[in-house]
Amino acid sequence: MKKILITGGAGFIGSHVVRLFVNQYPKYRIINLDKLTYAGNLENLRDVDQKPNYRFIKGDIAESGFINTLFAEEQFDGVIHLAAESHVDRSLENPNEFVITNIVGTVNLLHAASKAWQSNPEKRFYHISTDEVYGSIHGGGLFTESTHIDPQSPYSASKASSDHFVSAFGNSYKLPVLISRCSNNYGPNHFPEKLIPLMINNIIEEKPLPVYGKGENIRDWLYVIDHARAIDVIFHKGKTGEVYNIGGNNEWKNIDLVNFLCKVMDEKLGREEGASSKLITFVKDRPGHDLRYAIDSSKLQSQLGWSPSVTFEEGLNKTVDWYLSNKDWLSHVTSGSYRDYYSNMYANR
């Protein structure tokens, strides 16, 4: 039986990874460590909360003493590290939080693992990063694993720094490490501050749909469950020391995506075609807003056999249907009341 620590497992991507591992590997012991910030929501994991191979621990990766004790007591066989502050706009307002969680927290985990594992090659420390560390593509082309790191926001700078620390611990301490960098995710349980869930929530409530600049920024979109599948494959089959890009081969201009989403929502809500598009409001562009991200995931596909399984149209329809069927979840996360409730429930667990 392997004991796997998944950090940030109550968040958007993390909850899908936890669910997959708990259900797919009943002989694994899955430990979900999450601080339960505004984006960490244990409602995301109600369906696995009582499974015998699952345990939740509330804690902060930035607290080195706590992390050292946890590793000494639990004797983990592997770490899948997703815990991070991840919203670019918030990083512009308060970059220090991103330094503390994304850099200091990652180093605390690396240091604890290196001491506990003593260069054991049977262990595995897997760090989940982002394509934003590459910066912006000017013109054509795709990000490959050898693309120069060129972060343009405090968020991406903090993730780039944590990537470098992961590689450095692999080199200096012979820690068995892996890194993956993924394009934009979408799907169920996504906190409504990012583009797609924000637009869905605002369309439901008939609020303005804020689009930065002229909406010409381009992103590659991947359904979150396909990302969780990729993480599973990389964790089990990836080569130690390697970096793997994960992408959806699915580029959209922001304005085109929002218009398409408006069309889907109008159909599902029984509104007149074009009703939601009238809510689009162009706002001042974000400082340092990267123009285009696009991922080349051919290494992952050719070496490990993974590929996206859900088309964007299919995934977006599934996503919209989930939000329309889970309006109580939306109400809870936008009100913030759930955080106090769940934090108290799990304070001593």
Q: Is 155 a catalytic residue?
A: yes
Q: How confident is the model at residue 340 (pLDDT cuts 50, 70, 90)?
A: very low
Would you state the torsion angle of the CA atoms of residues 111, 112, 116, 118, taken in this order, to the nearest 10 degrees? -10
Give yes or no: 131 in active site: yes
- pLDDT value for 348: 33
d(CA 326, CA 323) in angstroms, rounded, equals 5
The predicted structure's pLDDT at residue 332: 81
- Structure confidence at residue 329 (pLDDT): 86
Catalytic residue among 54, 126, 134, 155: 155
* 341 vs 193, more confident: 193
166-221 residue pLDDT tens: 999 999 999 999 999 999 999 999 988 889 999 999 999 999 999 999 999 999 99
Q: Which of 132, 220, 226, 290 is catalytic?
A: 132
Beta carbons within 10 angstroms of residue 63's beta carbon = 15
CA distances from 213 to 115, 183, 253 (A): 48, 21, 12
- Relative to beta strand 209-212, strand 184-186 is unpaired
Fold of 3-186+221-250+291-310+338-345: Rossmann fold (3.40.50)
Per the CB < 8 A criterion, the answer to whether 269 and 325 are in contact is no
Please measure the distance between the N-terminal and C-terminal CA atoms of the chain and give it in whole angstroms. 22
Look-up: residue for tokens 């392997």? 2
What is residue 1's predicted lDDT score, i.e. its pLDDT? Answer: 85
Verify whether residue 150 is a known catalytic residue: no
Whole-prediction pTM value?
0.93
List CB contacts of 63: < 8 A, sequence separation 6 or more.
108
pLDDT band at 296 (very low <50, low <70, confident <90, very high): very high
For residues 146 and 110, what is the distance between their CA atoms, to the nearest angstrom? Answer: 23
β-bridge pairing 124-130 and 177-182: parallel
Q: Per the residue annotation, which of 34, 131, 220, 251 is the catalytic one? A: 131
pLDDT value of position 109:
98
Query: Would the pLDDT of 330 be above 90?
Result: no
Region 248-255: mean pLDDT is 94
User: In which band, very low, low, confident or very high, does the pLDDT at 336 lie, cut at 50, 70 and 90?
Assistant: low
SS3 9: coil
